[in-house]
């Protein structure tokens, strides 16, 4: 029986995705249960998730032994293992993908984060992963770095559906949406059926609060401290206003007439880091139709237990959200520096996780020889 709270969130137009994947979830039937009981209609992955999955349990032992017997190197083994998981997950979600006409039932797989500042190599790997997984409900994750922006356009132009990750500022999200729209226009020129192309823009939430809260506490004034816990939601609401603006007007209408799809905002990093804040606030406060909320299981369970879907919490809030940022600037928060730091840290964290993933697989391959 479907959880009523998550079902209500879904009914409000929010696509509930799980920010986790493992071989254990696939083989145990847990992922299927999440679909039927918790309204989950998609999955996101990243290097940190795969590093955790491979280091926990024995679910990958058989495949690792087979890879070791073939003499596969570490990077080839990672590719085969992650592609296999994503293929299976895509198959589990195939019914959702068909039922939603391709909007949901999506599974994301990220390009090597070490390529975040290399456009050509990012494009090449995005195309390689698209072909390797060979499932229409795949989303290839490309980071929203400056070098990632042209890679987004080029991948979309080749018919690849893309999840753009590591977006922290509304200004960068505007550039991401421009890159997506330009990609659709080029896809048309290349003869691609743009109705088959989908994209989401992963806008990170809690990390914004974590960084800005630290700065507010260092400032320490009454005015500064009163702003804690407000930036992440306000930032996301400004992003949604930018989304509404980007996908309107004659340029977008031309693509919409060819059944082009908007690039939905995806609220990422929605696990609350500060225990003083409500543990579902990055879900309930960002509930609005035509968005995705990808949650770690802890947040999903919290919402299933006591979360509330109280209607649209985002539309028409841009002025209020902008005031939060005006106030942040007034008390001395350097927002440009915040966004730059968060992007650099985001890339570095995924690179570190990739190294951990390599170390784990290397150890497992050596043990299997």
Cite the beta strand spans of the chain per DSSP E: 14-18, 40-43, 106-110, 138-143, 162-167, 199-204, 264-268, 291-295
Candidates 32, 121, 131, 141; catalytic one: 141
Say if residues 183 and 251 touch (Cβ distance below 8 Å).
Answer: no
Say if residues 203 and 167 touch (Cβ distance below 8 Å).
Answer: yes
- Measured CA to CA, the distance from residue 40 to residue 38 in angstroms comes to 6
- Measured CA to CA, the distance from residue 78 to residue 128 in angstroms comes to 14
105: left (phi over 0), alpha (psi -120 to 50) or beta: left
Q: How many residues comprise the chain?
A: 369
Is 121 one of the catalytic residues? Answer: no
Element containing residue 288 per DSSP (H, E):
none
> In this predicted model, what pLDDT tens digit does every residue of 261-277 receive, in sequence order?
999 999 999 999 999 99
- Measured CA to CA, the distance from residue 182 to residue 180 in angstroms comes to 5
Cite the beta strand spans of 318-365 per DSSP E: none
- Measured CA to CA, the distance from residue 208 to residue 229 in angstroms comes to 9
Question: Largest Cα–Cα distance in the chain?
Answer: 63
Going by C-alpha positions, the residue among 198, 150, 204 that lies closest to residue 178 is 150
> In this predicted model, what pLDDT tens digit does every residue of 179-206 receive, in sequence order?
999 999 999 999 999 999 999 999 999 9
Residues of the chain with pLDDT under 70: none
Q: To which residue do tokens 């500042």 refer?
A: 117
Q: 3-state class of 365 per DSSP?
A: helix
Would you say the C-alpha torsion 284, 286, 290, 294 has a positive or negative sign?
negative
- Measured CA to CA, the distance from residue 133 to residue 194 in angstroms comes to 20
Domains of the chain, start order? 4-368 (3.20.20.70)
């Amino acid at each position: 029986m479907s959880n009523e709270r998550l079902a209500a969130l879904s009914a409000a137009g929010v696509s509930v995705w799980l920010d986790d994947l493992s071989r254990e979830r696939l083989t145990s039937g847990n992922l299927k249960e999440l679909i039927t009981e918790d309204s989950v209609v998609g999955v996101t992955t990243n290097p940190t998730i795969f590093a955790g999955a491979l280091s926990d349990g024995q679910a990958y032992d058989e495949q690792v032994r087979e890879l070791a017997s073939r003499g596969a190197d570490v990077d080839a083994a990672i590719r085969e293992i992650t592609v296999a998981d994503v293929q299976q997950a895509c198959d589990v979600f195939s019914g959702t993908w068909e039922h939603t006409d391709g909007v949901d039932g999506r599974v994301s797989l990220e390009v090597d984060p070490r390529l975040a500042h290399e456009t050509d190599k990012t494009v090449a790997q995005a195309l390689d992963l698209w072909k390797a997984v060979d499932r229409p409900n795949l989303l290839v994750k490309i980071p929203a770095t400056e070098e990632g922006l042209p890679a987004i356009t080029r991948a979309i132009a080749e018919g690849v559906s893309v999840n753009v990750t590591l977006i922290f500022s509304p200004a960068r999200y505007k550039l991401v949406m421009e890159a997506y729209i330009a990609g659709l226009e080029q896809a048309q020129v290349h003869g691609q059926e743009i109705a088959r192309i989908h994209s989401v823009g992963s806008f990170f939430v809690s990390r914004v609060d974590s960084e800005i809260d630290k700065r507010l506490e260092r400032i320490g004034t009454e005015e500064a401290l009163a702003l804690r816990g407000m930036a992440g939601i306000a930032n996301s609401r400004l992003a949604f206003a930018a989304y509404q603006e980007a996908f309107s007007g004659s340029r977008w209408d031309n693509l919409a007439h060819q059944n082009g799809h908007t690039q939905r905002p995806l609220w990422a990093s929605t696990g609350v880091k500060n225990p003083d804040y409500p543990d579902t606030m990055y879900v309930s406060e960002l509930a609005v139709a035509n968005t995705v909320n990808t949650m770690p299981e802890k947040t999903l369970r919290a919402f299933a237990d006591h979360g509330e879907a109280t209607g649209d919490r985002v539309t028409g809030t841009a002025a209020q959200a902008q005031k939060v940022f005006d106030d942040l600037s007034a008390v001395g928060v350097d927002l440009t520096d915040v966004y730059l730091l968060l992007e650099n840290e985001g890339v570095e964290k995924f690179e570190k996780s990739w190294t951990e993933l390599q170390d784990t697989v290397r150890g497992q391959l050596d043990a299997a020889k």
